[in-house]
């Protein structure tokens, strides 16, 4: 009988302690440290079968001897998912997908599994095979490559993997798995670490990519130890409001691609539809010109987006004016208001200012500063901007209009969507010669004020 070992883990951050204490010294959370029984059994490999003897031994190689040819990525039939991953699924990689309950994590990965041209094993610890079949019939009823397995014990899962030999493995979710090597309940810190370690070893030895679904805490972080995000190769975040139809897929970590890419989906009865032209979705269709609306050209990774900025400036009813921003940094909004007051002479100290980025997305690109200023001025003067004008520039504390990166790509996107003029910084170097859109260069915030006033 192996010796029983007990350790104490913080259920919030995963820190380990030799004895119980009331507060975690790492994350400062109270009453989150619990005792877990860890009983290690002898184990040699993730494979339980002894028939396989061609175990590959790792040996050091000179860096010049290593084959530098890139492995071919596995292409899914989802262009948005491919873009966020950096061009497809890398063989032998572990990808972790997190998001709010009911946001569509299981639907997204089931949809990808059903549309893949490769043999796929979809492992679920939360739903039965019949329940998954009901959802699959809405998404893609005719599929002969996807196998469904309902199992939570990792030893049984690896036996089925050995028998099926899939090209891709999907696990829903990592918090439901448990291993015989750890004597604690599923979802605990030690179980998540052990199950993930076994999956990593399997993925690296067989070059089989594994897609994991992870639950999140009430703070929005992926549940379990923080080391889970360090262990996997890619961490994806699935965002959106369950009251709206649009979902956004972001990469928080990606060892094989950019973390700035963005994928947009629309939730429908038949699954998630890819939004290939998000600019048309993020800009509302209206016939009347309304004050307080401005269009900004932003970048998410390599993709230019046109988003609509809405502002409302009204007289403060209470003594203290309100400053509210949705989808935009509230501190940056206060900074831009201070610049308007100091450099342009607008008295906004006794007025409420509300700002909203339409479409339910969060933007941190400083290039939307000029659009925010234009929307606030438009609402304050109650004068509508021309709906075929757009903006792409950063605003400095001294009121100067600062240049932004890849401005030519932004100009071409605005031109493609039919805009007649774009406002950029005077200090941007632009070499476009055949552009039909009018490029309005300004250097100070006063130039924009004079243009709007006229």
Domain spans of the chain, in order of start: 1-39, 76-276, 281-453
332 CB neighbour count, 10 Å cutoff = 17
The reply, when asked if residue 314 is annotated as ligand binding, is: no
- The domain made up of 281-453 has a fold known as Ribosomal Protein S5; domain 2 (3.30.230)
**What does pTM read for this prediction?**
0.75
The reply, when asked if residue 446 is annotated as ligand binding, is: no
The second-level CATH assignment, the architecture, of 76-276 is: 3-Layer(aba) Sandwich (3.40)
The reply, when asked if residue 226 is annotated as ligand binding, is: no
The reply, when asked if residue 89 is annotated as ligand binding, is: no
The reply, when asked if residue 431 is annotated as ligand binding, is: no
Tell me the pLDDT tens digit for each residue of 426-451: 998 888 878 889 999 999 998 888 87
- How large a percentage of the chain has pLDDT more than 90? 40
Tell me the pLDDT tens digit for each residue of 172-222: 989 999 988 887 788 888 888 889 999 999 999 999 999 999 988 877 788
The reply, when asked if residue 105 is annotated as ligand binding, is: yes
The predicted structure's pLDDT at residue 361:
79
Tell me the pLDDT tens digit for each residue of 275-302: 887 777 777 766 677 889 999 999 887 7
The reply, when asked if residue 166 is annotated as ligand binding, is: no
The reply, when asked if residue 99 is annotated as ligand binding, is: yes
């Amino acid at each position: 009988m192996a010796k029983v070992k007990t350790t104490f883990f913080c259920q919030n951050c995963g820190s380990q302690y030799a004895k119980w204490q009331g507060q975690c010294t790492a994350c400062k959370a109270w009453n989150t440290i619990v005792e877990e029984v860890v009983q290690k059994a002898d184990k040699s490999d993730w494979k339980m079968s002894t028939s396989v003897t061609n175990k590959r031994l790792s040996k050091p190689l000179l860096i010049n001897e290593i084959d530098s040819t890139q492995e071919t990525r596995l292409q899914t039939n989802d262009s948005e998912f491919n873009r966020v991953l950096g061009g497809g699924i890398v063989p032998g990689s572990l990808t972790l997908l997190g998001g709010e309950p009911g946001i569509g994590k299981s639907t997204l990965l089931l949809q990808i599994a059903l549309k893949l041209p490769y043999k796929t094993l979809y492992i679920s610890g939360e739903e039965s095979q019949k329940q998954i079949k009901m959802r699959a019939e809405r998404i893609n009823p005719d599929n002969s490559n996807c196998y469904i397995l309902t199992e939570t014990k990792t030893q049984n899962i690896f036996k089925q993997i050995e028998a099926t030999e899939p090209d891709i493995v999907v696990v829903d979710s990592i918090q439901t798995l448990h291993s015989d090597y750890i004597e604690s309940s599923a979802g605990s810190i030690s179980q998540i670490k052990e199950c993930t370690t076994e999956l990593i070893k399997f993925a690296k030895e067989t070059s089989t990519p594994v897609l994991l679904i992870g639950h999140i805490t009430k703070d929005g972080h992926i549940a379990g130890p923080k080391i889970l995000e360090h262990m996997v190769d890619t961490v994806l975040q699935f965002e959106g409001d369950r009251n709206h139809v649009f979902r956004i897929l972001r990469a928080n970590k990606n060892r094989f691609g950019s973390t700035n890419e963005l994928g947009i989906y629309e939730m429908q009865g038949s699954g998630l539809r890819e939004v290939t032209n998000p600019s048309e979705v993020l800009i509302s269709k209206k016939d009347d010109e309304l004050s307080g609306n401005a269009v900004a050209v932003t970048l998410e990774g390599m993709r230019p987006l046109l988003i609509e900025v809405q502002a409302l400036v009204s007289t403060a009813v209470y003594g203290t004016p309100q400053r509210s921003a949705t989808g935009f940094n509230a501190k940056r909004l206060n900074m831009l208001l201070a610049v308007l007051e100091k450099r342009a002479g607008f008295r906004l100290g006794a007025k409420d200012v509300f700002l909203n980025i339409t479409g339910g997305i969060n933007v941190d690109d400083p290039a939307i500063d000029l659009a925010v200023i234009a929307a606030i001025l438009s609402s304050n003067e109650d004068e509508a901007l021309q709906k075929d004008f757009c903006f792409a520039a950063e605003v400095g504390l001294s009121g100067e209009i600062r240049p932004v990166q890849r401005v030519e790509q932004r100009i071409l996107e605005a031109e493609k969507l039919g805009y007649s003029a774009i406002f950029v910084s005077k200090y941007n170097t632009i070499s476009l010669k055949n552009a039909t859109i009018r490029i309005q260069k300004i250097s100070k915030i006063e130039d924009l004020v004079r243009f709007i006033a006229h």
